[in-house]
């Protein structure tokens, strides 16, 4: 294949073409250093500049000030499932989890190995079709933190607005929708995200953490799992995933050039509407998994009338250069991941293909 495909995979996922081109231009000789970023010492001036710029760009995009730090860690979002309770769930305390899908279940199960947890709400009944309403959320008394998953990659649901629990620290796994829209990041005590969906390649996990959380993080745990150590060392306590951080910084620069989060939000709404409109106007040929008021702009999940048609749909789409549309086994059907880097053209192509497929098979 010589042409680039429209890549609807859930992650690792498509990256902005200008970012890949910039990386290609800088591959052999990064800004006169005579080497690629991959080959560079993480203690070099050049790398330090990349690291600092990535932190500054992330904070700028999120509208965060000096009371926040951005860390570039390893181990994926899955390591954060354990690191959050290890650092913040002390003996005798309880942490509250709101379950909206498999990833929040995993986060809660990991925490339950380390301390007491309370399930403050769950939408498991009906197979995670929706985000709970505020009235459904029953917090325990003075929890150490409340954990949510902002976007449910597998089920295709997304918090449309975030809850506010006052002084109780709000922790969010934003792996699949970080930087997809404007939101008040200052409401969060800690945000984490594996980079491989909306931020860059795999290998780095971005953690946005408020200063008071760093101050109260546990110190009697393994060094590599201590937020305070990573913060104190500027994410350079040990060898960081330097090339991935470099790529994340290119994506952040691209995002700023696109107009930042407000522009992204508008674009993402329009892109998702191209696909949701086909589902809604298909007279039941396509059925969305998520309830309309919980729908994600990042992962669009839908079924066809039967599994044979779903297989044909995926294989015909692939022939037309649209790949990665097979859904997760726990929902079945199709999933189109339409992260920031997915172009409008890609969504338009899928929307047109869906209409044509329904005309032929409906």
Residue 173, marked binder: yes
Residue 153, marked binder: yes
- Looking at residues 177 to 236 of the shown chain, list those that interact with ligand PMP (rule: CB under 6 A): 194
Among 11, 163, 169, 200, binds ligand PMP (CB under 6 A): 11
> Does 103 qualify as catalytic in the annotation?
yes
173 contacts 77 by C-beta, under 8 angstroms: yes
Closest CA to 59 of 226, 232, 201, 185: 185
**What does the alpha-carbon distance between residue 215 and residue 2 come to, in Å, rounded to a whole number?**
52
Q: Is 78 in the site for ligand PMP (CB under 6 A)?
A: yes
**What does the alpha-carbon distance between residue 145 and residue 167 come to, in Å, rounded to a whole number?**
9
**79 vs 351 by CB, closer to ligand PMP:** 79
- Looking at residues 136 to 175 of the shown chain, list those that interact with ligand PMP (rule: CB under 6 A): 149, 153, 173, 175
**103 vs 276 by CB, closer to ligand PMP:** 103
**What does the alpha-carbon distance between residue 281 and residue 302 come to, in Å, rounded to a whole number?**
13
Task: Please state, as a whole number, how many other Cβ atoms lie within 10 Å of the Cβ of residue 185.
Answer: 22
**84 vs 261 by CB, closer to ligand PMP:** 84
Which residue in 59, 96, 129, 173 is the catalytic one?
A: 173
Beta strand 190-194 with 170-173 is parallel
Q: How far is the CB of 289 from ligand PMP (least distance, A)?
A: 15
**176 vs 301 by CB, closer to ligand PMP:** 176
Query: To 10 degrees, the CA torsion angle through 8, 301, 132, 207?
Result: -10
Residue 103, marked binder: yes
Residue 142, marked binder: no
* Phi-psi group of 40: left, alpha or beta (phi > 0 → left; psi -120 to 50 → alpha; rest → beta): beta
- Looking at residues 99 to 118 of the shown chain, list those that interact with ligand PMP (rule: CB under 6 A): 103
Residue 352, marked binder: no
For 35-54, give one letter per residue: b (16+ CB within 10 A) or e.
Answer: eebeebebeeebbeebbeeb
Positions annotated as catalytic residues are 103, 173, 197
Contacts to ligand PMP by CB under 6 A = 11, 76-78, 103, 149, 153, 173, 175-176, 194
Binding site members: 43, 77-78, 103, 153, 173, 196, 238-239
């Amino acid at each position: 294949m010589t042409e680039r495909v429209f890549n609807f995979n859930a992650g690792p996922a498509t990256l902005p073409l200008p970012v890949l081109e910039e990386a290609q231009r800088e591959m052999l000789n990064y800004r006169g250093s005579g080497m690629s970023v991959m080959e560079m010492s993480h203690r070099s001036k050049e790398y330090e500049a990349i690291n600092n710029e990535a932190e500054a760009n992330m904070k700028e995009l999120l509208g965060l000030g000096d009371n926040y730090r951005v860390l570039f860690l390893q181990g994926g979002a899955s390591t954060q499932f354990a690191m959050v309770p290890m650092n913040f769930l002390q003996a005798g305390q309880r942490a509250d989890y709101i379950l909206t899908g498999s990833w929040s279940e995993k986060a809660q199960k990991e925490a339950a190995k380390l301390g007491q947890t309370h399930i403050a709400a769950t939408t498991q009944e009906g197979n995670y079709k929706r985000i709970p309403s505020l009235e459904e959320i029953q917090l325990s008394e003075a929890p150490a933190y409340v954990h949510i998953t902002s976007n449910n990659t597998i089920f295709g649901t997304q918090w449309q607005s975030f809850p506010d629990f006052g002084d109780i620290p709000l922790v969010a796994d934003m792996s699949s929708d970080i930087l997809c829209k404007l939101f008040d990041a200052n409401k969060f005590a800690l945000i984490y995200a594996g980079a491989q969906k909306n931020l860059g390649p795999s290998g780095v996990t971005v953690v946005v953490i408020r200063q008071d959380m760093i101050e109260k993080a546990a110190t009697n745990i393994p060094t590599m799992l201590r937020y305070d150590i990573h913060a104190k060392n500027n994410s350079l306590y040990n060898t960081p995933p330097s090339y991935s951080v470099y790529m994340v910084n290119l994506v952040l620069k691209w995002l700023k050039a696109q107009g930042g989060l407000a522009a992204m939000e508008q674009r993402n709404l329009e892109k998702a509407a191209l696909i949701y409109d086909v589902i809604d106007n298909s007279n039941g040929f396509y059925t969305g998994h998520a309830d309309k008021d919980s729908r994600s702009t990042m992962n669009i999940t839908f079924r066809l009338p039967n599994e044979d048609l779903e297989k044909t749909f995926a294989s015909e789409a692939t022939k037309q250069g649209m790949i990665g549309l097979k859904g997760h086994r726990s929902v079945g059907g199709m999933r189109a991941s339409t992260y920031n880097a997915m172009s409008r053209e890609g969504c338009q192509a899928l929307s047109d293909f869906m209409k044509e497929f329904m005309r032929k098979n409906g």
